[in-house]
Amino acid sequence: MNQRDVELLSAYLDGQLKPSDSARLEARLKSDAELVSVMDDLRAARNLLRRLPQRRAPRNFTLTPKMVGQNPPMPRAYPLFRFATTIATLMLFFTFGLNFLAPQMAAQPGGMGGGGGSDLFAEEQAPAAAESSIATEAPAATEPPATEAPFASVPQATVLPTLDGDSRAAETEMANTGSAADEEQAKIANEVPPAPVSIAWQIALAGIALIGALFMLMMRQSAFRRWRQKE
Amino acid sequence: MNEPALIQDAQKGNVDAFNTLILHYQDSVYNTALRILGDEDQAADAAQEAFISAFKSINSFRGGSFKAWLMRTVTNACYDELRRQKRRPTTPLEPDSEDGEEMDSPRWLADPSMTPAQKSEADELEHAIQHCLNNLPLEFKTVVVMADIQGMDYTEVATSVRVPLGTIKSRLARARLRLRECLQGFAELLPASYRLEEGKAAL
């Protein structure tokens, strides 16, 4: 018995032979007892397998959107909040970096020149300068750095006297108590260096980021809640 | 069940539509996995994995027999499971009794709807068949499970396994012959129904 005959017999049992092949095999089966015996073996195995009981699935294999990594549909305003939160957070971190770097830049002339950061630096610097102008009630003195800010590069700023926060505060105190000339001098000394971003801006940015994140969280929770109810 | 419409919806990401298809095919998928792996828990895991994977790749279904396409996913999940088994220490497919002897009628093959006598007879037959299936090479086992247990035609099996029709015929013939040889070793264990089948075949 060769492999070819076994294949023929197996396909014959499944009705998969061409009529001409079937007729030839049937003719051989009439005279070949071994062929008949092998066909019986194949048929017995086939019947046993076909009689195996189909088991019921032990549980339902239905999928939940979570299983396939789907998220519930979010409200239309969600991307807006996400954008605002991201920008506010990035800007907040940037102001921290700026406040940290500004005194160092002032100490090292030309330590950081122009580049992509200078525009943003100027943007932050302008409101900061404006705020301090309100604090000192000397708008005229504060105008120049504010208007010049977009063009003022960092190296330009670093040429100016180095003053840390404490010494600047001390200067201001002195200016308040001293003569008008001294006051003017102190004001100039106080205003001209690139003022780090004021705390008010940082609080505002943190507030935007926090409120945005809070809204996003609420939107997500309500979207998931609605989704679960639907399921 | 409007299968083409459900498939289309599932392709657009509709999980509910795909779940309707799952409910229709889950018994076939589970049984295929069970016969290939020989273990209920592993078969359930493989079936679940197969459905997850099928949903994620449903866009690769381009028509034809959905069952054949699904069976391909199941066999892949079974092969993954077998590969995982090879990598970690294996537990025996057939549970042992307390004294270490292999159980003739393990709980994992029992069907609660039968009388004890029927159950014992069916258990032994099923156990013997599963034992012989476990001894088959994987590519033979896959083909014989699809053709003889799932009743798929040659074309469907060929689509599923992605081998030529001639190879399917050859594997099926050899698998049946090997199963028959293996089952003859269980002749004294097998119930009357099997001997009746043998008697019928001899006529």
State whether B153 and B191 are in the same domain.
yes
Please check whether residue B109 lies inside any domain of the structure.
Answer: no
pLDDT at position A182 is: 59
Answer whether residue B70 shows pLDDT above 80. Answer: yes
Lowest-pLDDT choice from A39-53, A97-111, A123-137: A123-137
Looking at residue A153, its pLDDT comes to 42
Q: How confident is the model at residue A118 (pLDDT cuts 50, 70, 90)?
A: very low
In a shared domain, residues B54 and B121:
no
**Interval B114-150: pLDDT, tens:** 566 666 766 778 888 999 999 999 999 999 999 999 9
Task: Provide the domain limits for residue B124.
Answer: 115-203
Residue B53's Cβ-side half-sphere holds a number of Cα atoms within 13 Å equal to 18
Give residue A10's pLDDT: 94
Is residue A198's pLDDT more than 70? yes
CATH of the domain at B120: 1.10.10.10
- pLDDT attached to residue A96: 87
Comparing CB atoms, the residue among B15, B180, B202 nearest residue A45 is B180
Q: What's the confidence (pLDDT) of residue A226?
A: 78
**DSSP conformation class of A196:** P
Where is the domain boundary, B73, B89, B105?
B89
Mean pLDDT throughout B54-75? Answer: 93
Q: What is the mean pLDDT of residues A205-220?
A: 90
My answer on whether B121 and B157 are in the same domain is: yes
The predicted pLDDT at position A199 comes to 83
| Cα B198 from Cα B191, distance rounded (Å) | 11
What is the per-residue pLDDT across A140-152, written as a single tens digit (0 to 9) for each? Answer: 444 444 444 444 4
Q: Which residues of A touch B122 (CB under 8 A)?
A: 53
Cα–Cα distance, A150 to A144 (Å, whole number):
11
Share of chain A above pLDDT 70, in %: 58
Residue A231 C-alpha from the chain's centroid: 28
Q: Which of A50-54, A59-63, A79-83, A194-198 has the lowest mean pLDDT?
A: A194-198
pLDDT at B196 over 80: no
- Which chain A residues contact residue B27 at CB under 8 A? 54-57
pLDDT of residue B91: 55
Shared domain for B159 and B197, answered yes or no, is: yes
Q: Is A2 left (phi over 0), alpha (psi -120 to 50) or beta?
A: beta
**Interchain contact, B177 vs A41, CB within 8 Å:** yes
Average pLDDT along chain B: 82
User: Domain for residue B104, yes or no?
Assistant: no
Alpha helices of A52-153 — where are they, by DSSP H? 78-107, 117-136, 139-148
Number of domains, chain B: 2
Q: How confident is the model over B148-173, as pLDDT tens digits?
A: 999 999 999 999 999 999 999 999 99
Q: Same structural domain for residues B188 and B135?
A: yes
Comparing B201 with A95, which gets the higher pLDDT? A95
Q: Does residue B59 lie in a domain region?
A: yes
Q: Are B111 and A31 in contact, with CB atoms under 8 Å apart? A: no
Q: Are residues B1 and B84 in the same domain?
A: yes
- Pair B124, B74 in one domain: no
Q: Which residues are CB-contacts of B1 (< 8 A; sequence separation ≥ 6)? A: B20, B21, B24
CATH of the domain at B55: 1.10.1740.10
Domain assignment present for residue B146? The answer is yes
For residue B184, what are the CA distances in angstroms to B140, B174, B181, B188, B198?
Answer: 19, 15, 5, 9, 10
pLDDT for the residue numbered B108? 42
Rg (CA), chain A: 42
Each residue's pLDDT tens digit, B73-125: 999 999 999 998 888 765 555 555 455 544 444 444 444 555 666 667 667 78
Same domain for B76 and B131, yes or no, is no
Within an 8 Å CB–CB cutoff, is residue A33 touching chain B? no
A7 reaches B (C-beta below 8 A): yes
* In-domain check, residue B10: yes
* Domain match, B84 and B132 both: no
For range A40-64, the mean pLDDT: 90
Does position B67 have pLDDT exceeding 80, yes or no?
A: yes
Neighbours of A145 (CB within 10 A): 25
Interface contact A63-B51, CB threshold 8 A: yes
pLDDT at position B8: 93
Cβ of A29 under 8 Å from any chain B Cβ?
no
The whole-number pLDDT of residue A181 equals: 56
Query: Tokens standing for A133?
Result: 């102008």
Domain boundary residue, one of B89, B104, B125: B89
Structure tokens at B104: 């003739």
Per-residue pLDDT, A184: 59
- A139 pLDDT above the threshold of 50: no
- Residue B98 included in any domain: no
HEC profile of B96-125? ECCCCCECCCCHHHCCCCCCHHHHHHHHHH
Q: Which of B74, B89, B104 is the last residue before a domain boundary?
A: B89
